[in-house]
Every structure is written in structure tokens, then in C-alpha cells.
Amino acid sequence: MLPHKQLEQRLQPAVRAVLPDADIGSVLVRPCPDPKFGDYQTTALMALAKPRKLNPRQLAADVLARLEVGDLCEKVEIAGAGFLNFRLKAAAVAKTLSAAASGEHLFFDKAIRPRTVVVDFSSPNVAKPMHVGHIRSTILGDSLARLLGLLGHRVITDNHIGDWGTQFGMLLVGWKRDLDPTALKTDAIAELERLYKRVSAECKDNPATLEAARQELVKLQAGDEENLRIWREMIALSQVQFDAIYARLGVKFDHTLGESFYNPRLKALVDELIARGIARESEGAKAVFFEDLPQLKDTPALIQKSDGGFNYTTTDLATLAYRLETWRPDEVIYVTDGRQQLHFQQVFAAFRRWHPEAPMKLAHVWFGSILGEDGKPFKTRSGETVKLADLLDEAEERAFKVVTEKSPDLPEPQRREIARVVGIGAVKYADLLPNRQSDYVFSWDKMLALSGNTAPYLQYACARIRSIFRKGGETSNREPQTANLELAAPEELALARHLLNFGLVLDAAADEYRPNYICNYLYDLAGHFTRFYENCPVLKADAAERTSRLLLCDLTARVLKQGLEVLGIETLEQM
């Protein structure tokens, strides 16, 4: 069992002995914000003392008198208004690392009660190229799915693509009138984009074209065979593009259920909401009103337009109902940009009224924008939206240039593979590192740097550790083994103590949907390793010390690799 869990297991009964009515589930142990005060602390006693009008320091002293942790910790200290600070003994740290080395754990536990979680992310539109705007949802959503899966939850990923709606009327007009079959074979998405732009512009000036597009859409929605055939071909061509991008990013989905999948459910859904008094008619349209919710009372959720058409809210309600029926999830997570906050507040509130019995948690994990170095939305030099495929191509080419400068003697295929891993990893890490709710500036130079908090720096740290094993004629990632670790040097202990917190960071990142916690943890881990390696000889140490330090190297490499894997970032044996 990990040290913080052992401390909690002993601390909670001690609290109960002093306060029999206390909720001991809230008595948790977390890393000390400042290592000089200890490894772990609990702040729970202050919260328990306040409603009972107790002196928190006296409560801490009473609990401490009933707490037996001498085998794990140095003397426990009462600090501030009633904190308890714990510093682990070196022997307890070494014991936990030995357990990790023997394969018992990698400093984290699987969930005791696994949950079923649906993660809805990426969601590009059919017949349009994926662009830089899709990158945050795709990378953040994939990372959260990986993280929840690592922690033992049942994760279902669903790519809710935009494959229905008014744009298809325009596309059908363009396809029938202006399609260039050769261009469609060469670059299908570029041809579909050309058709859409041409007809869309024409619709603004020519009512006849707008009416033609409307008629084509009506025919599609009514099940016209020719329009359905063309529509299906557009989806198939788009899916080829999606699959190519996702393969490059290492992103996989369990399901790709687009808007069209839910279309047959929409009329019955609206009828039911009206019949149950959850929605009502207003000015010819139908909407759910939220008079009792201050934040939504002025913004009803429209579920059917006055012309009879449905919208995103209707589709999203139908999607939630389907997920509830089919997968019975404990939680559904939507990963979209911050502009959709009001939309999801409305959808969640409407769904709660429709299905008050549904216990599932609904979470909107929103994020900010990607900016250019001029502080404006990230665009090409000509002002166009940056296509995702072009962005990934440039990342690999820039990384290839750096790799060629650093290692010109490596064969080109090897340099290309290193550039692929480094370039894609750099883009992902730069996106995951900031607080997701902040905008961030896209900078090639920063993200590809081999120093600072970047993916290449962490990938290089992994490769450097592996090179230690090669130089010493050892094998990294070997079979689990038992060994006594000797942690004497301050740098050894600092590195070892940091390793212990990997699981706590994973849990916090999952609870708050913030992979940036993992980024910062890994960056600090690489820094601790550098200080350890510079001050503690590994291969030149005597036999017992060498074995111990090689184990410390191996555990660091394993945590770095696992942490980067959760972020969707590959590692290399050599850079």
C-alpha cells in the first residue's frame, strides 16, 4: 500500500476516536505544498473543528496522541492553525520503491469502484477539413480517456461528428451542378470544401440557389435515394480523412455516432417534452424554460424552430438519452471549447428535468483558444484557418530539421521516425501544458525546444536514462525484481519522494479533468532526475549502490513513459 494510503488508514480511526460523529471519509492526506515542511499533510482537522467550535490545534494534538505512525514517519508536527505534517522515513520510502520495482504497483492504485465514463470529443464536421480548432478537443479528450482507463474505469469514447444539417443542402446543389470528379479523386475534402464555399456564397446573393439548397435538404431528410447515396459518399470520403489524422495522432474511438444517427428520435423527444410540460410553445417555436434557475432564466433552450426544424440542443438531448439507455454510464464528459458553456448548461438542465432519475454525472470540460504569436486567433499568413494535416506536417518537418542538426550521422529513416515522434509529441504537449481554460500562444520554437517544459525535453530525459543502461551493458524495463534500495544522498531521496506522488497527481488530474497537472509533475520529475544524475554516480558506483541507483533510474524511466503515454505522447530509445 502506498504511504499516503497507509497514513489515511491510521489517521481516520484516530480522528474517529476523538470525534465519533465525524465524517472520516473527508480525512485525507495530500503532498505538502512545500517539501521543507514534510512529505504529506492533512488539513482536514481544521474543517472538522470549525462547526464544533473546537480549537483546531488542540484537536490536532488530541488526534496525534492516538496516532501510531512511528514505523513510517519521523516525528509528526502540528503546524499553523491545525495542520498535521508527515515526513516519511527513508526506509519507508525505499520500501515503497522496492515494491514498485518488484511489479506490485507503479505508485498508483486502480479504482476500487470502477465507473463507466463516456468521453465525447473531437467531433469534426463531414465534408470539411479538420483544422487547428479541432486539436484541443481531440488531444484533451484522448488524454482524459487514457487517464481514466489507466485508473481502471470503463471508458467509452464517442466521436459525435457533424453529419447532418443545412450545409448538406448546399453541398448537394454543388455536387450535382459543379462536381469535378478528378478533383474528388485527388483530394476529396478540398473539392467538397470548394463546392460548399461556392454555393454558400451564391446563396447569400441568389434566392433561387438558396431555395434549391433548401429543396435538396428536404429531399435528403425525406429519404430521397439519390441524395442519401451522395450524402453517404460524402461521409465515407470524410471518414478517410478523419482516420488518417487520428492515426497520426494515435487517437481511437469506440464509436462514431454522428448527428444523423439521432435524427429518427427527435420528433418523439419534442412531443414527449411538450406532453410532460417540460417544454412549451412560444412564438411558433418550442423551448424549455428555466424560470427557477437564475443563471438560465433569460435563456430558454430552443428544441424546435418555428419552421419545424430541430437543432443541436434537440440532438444533444437525444444523444444523452441514447447513452443512458445503451451504456448506463456513471458520467458523460463533453470536451468542447468555452463558447459552448451556455449550450451545455441548457442541455444538462433540460435533461435533468426529463430524466430526474438518471444518476449520471454530466461534465462540460471546456477549453480556451489557440492564439498566434500576435495574440490573435491562430491563422495562416494569408488569414486562412490552419488545416490540422498541414500543422502536423510542419511539426514533423521542423523536428526533422532539429534532429538532422543534432544527429546528422543517423540514417534518414531513423531521423524521420524520431522527427515524427518528437514533432507530434511537441504539438500535443504544448496543447496540454497550459490550464485548459486559458488561451495559449502557439510557438514552434518553444514547443520543439530541448530545454524547458516541453515534450522533447521529457522524451530526451527518457532516452537519456535508457542510454545509461546501454552504456552499462544493462537492460532497462527488465522483468520485475526485488532489490534493497539504499537512499542516502539528498538527491536520491528527493527523486524517490517525488516518484511516490505519481498516483496522487493522476487522481487529481482525473478528478479535475486537468492533464496539465501530469505535465508539470513529469517536468519536475525530470528535473529531480537531472540533479540526482549529476550528483550521484550510477555506473561508477560500487556494486550495491550501482544496483540501487539503476533501479531508481529504471523507475524514473517507467513513470516518465507511463505519464507521457497518458498524455498520448510516444517515447524513444534514442534521440
The model's pTM? 0.94
For residue 479, the model assigns a pLDDT of 53
Q: Which helix (H) or strand (E) holds 97?
A: helix 90-101
- Determine the distance from the C-alpha atom of residue 331 to the mean position of all C-alpha atoms in its chain, rounded to a whole number: 15
For residue 62, the model assigns a pLDDT of 95
- The residue from 186, 217, 249 where one domain ends is 249
Cell numbers placing 348: 444538462
Name the 3-class secondary structure at 511: helix
- Please check whether residue 35 lies inside any domain of the structure: yes
- Please check whether residue 208 lies inside any domain of the structure: yes
pLDDT band at 375 (very low <50, low <70, confident <90, very high): confident
pLDDT band at 377 (very low <50, low <70, confident <90, very high): confident
pLDDT band at 480 (very low <50, low <70, confident <90, very high): low
Highest-pLDDT range among 211-220, 472-481, 522-531, 537-546: 522-531
pLDDT band at 296 (very low <50, low <70, confident <90, very high): very high
For residue 502, the model assigns a pLDDT of 98
C-alpha to C-alpha distance for 567 and 144, rounded to whole angstroms = 8
Could you report the per-residue pLDDT of 243-265, keeping only the tens digit for each?
999 999 999 999 999 999 999 99
Could you report the per-residue pLDDT of 500-555, keeping only the tens digit for each?
999 999 999 999 999 999 999 999 999 999 999 999 999 998 988 999 999 999 99
| Dihedral angle of Cα 123, 129, 132, 137, to the nearest 10 degrees | 10
CA-to-CA dists, residue 60 to 23, 220, 271, 428, angstroms: 16, 70, 59, 44
Name the 3-class secondary structure at 155: strand
User: Does residue 65 surpass a pLDDT of 80?
Assistant: yes
Domain limits at 22?
3-88
- The residue from 88, 111, 129 where one domain ends is 88
Residue 319 near residue 262 (C-beta atoms within 8 A)? yes
C-alpha to C-alpha distance for 172 and 186, rounded to whole angstroms = 20
Residue 90 near residue 487 (C-beta atoms within 8 A)? yes
Residue 314 near residue 298 (C-beta atoms within 8 A)? no
Percent of the chain predicted with pLDDT > 70: 98
C-alpha to C-alpha distance for 66 and 201, rounded to whole angstroms = 77
Q: Which of 151-155, 169-173, 246-250, 482-486 has the lowest mean pLDDT?
A: 482-486
Mean pLDDT of 87-108: 94
- Please check whether residue 215 lies inside any domain of the structure: yes
User: Does residue 477 surpass a pLDDT of 70?
Assistant: no
Cell numbers placing 470: 546501454
Amino acid, single-letter form, for residue 134: H
| Dihedral angle of Cα 548, 554, 560, 564, to the nearest 10 degrees | -160
Mean pLDDT of 305-315: 91
Mean pLDDT of 58-71: 95
Across-strand partners of 77? 85
Structure-model confidence comparison of residues 304 and 133, the more confident one? 304
- Please check whether residue 122 lies inside any domain of the structure: no
CA-to-CA dists, residue 123 to 287, 465, 481, angstroms: 25, 38, 45
- Short-list 504, 495, 490, 491, CA closest to 554: 495
For residue 374, the model assigns a pLDDT of 85
- The residue from 32, 66, 88 where one domain ends is 88
Structure-model confidence comparison of residues 251 and 574, the more confident one? 251
For residue 381, the model assigns a pLDDT of 74
| Mean pLDDT score across all residues of the chain | 94
Cell numbers placing 347: 442541455
- Short-list 80, 78, 90, CA closest to 3: 90
pLDDT band at 331 (very low <50, low <70, confident <90, very high): very high
For residue 380, the model assigns a pLDDT of 76
CATH number at residue 82: 3.30.1360.70
Amino acid, single-letter form, for residue 371: L
Could you report the per-residue pLDDT of 380-430, keeping only the tens digit for each?
777 788 899 999 999 999 999 999 999 999 999 999 999 999 999 999 999
Residue 160 near residue 198 (C-beta atoms within 8 A)? no
Name the 3-class secondary structure at 563: helix
- Please check whether residue 43 lies inside any domain of the structure: yes
C-alpha to C-alpha distance for 196 and 128, rounded to whole angstroms = 9
Across-strand partners of 154? 116
Burial 242-254 (b: 16+ CB within 10 A, else e): beebbebbebebe
Strands 361-367 and 331-337: parallel
- Please check whether residue 185 lies inside any domain of the structure: yes
- Please check whether residue 194 lies inside any domain of the structure: yes
- Please check whether residue 396 lies inside any domain of the structure: no
User: Does residue 483 surpass a pLDDT of 80?
Assistant: no
The tally of domains found in the chain comes to 2
Cell numbers placing 300: 430558454
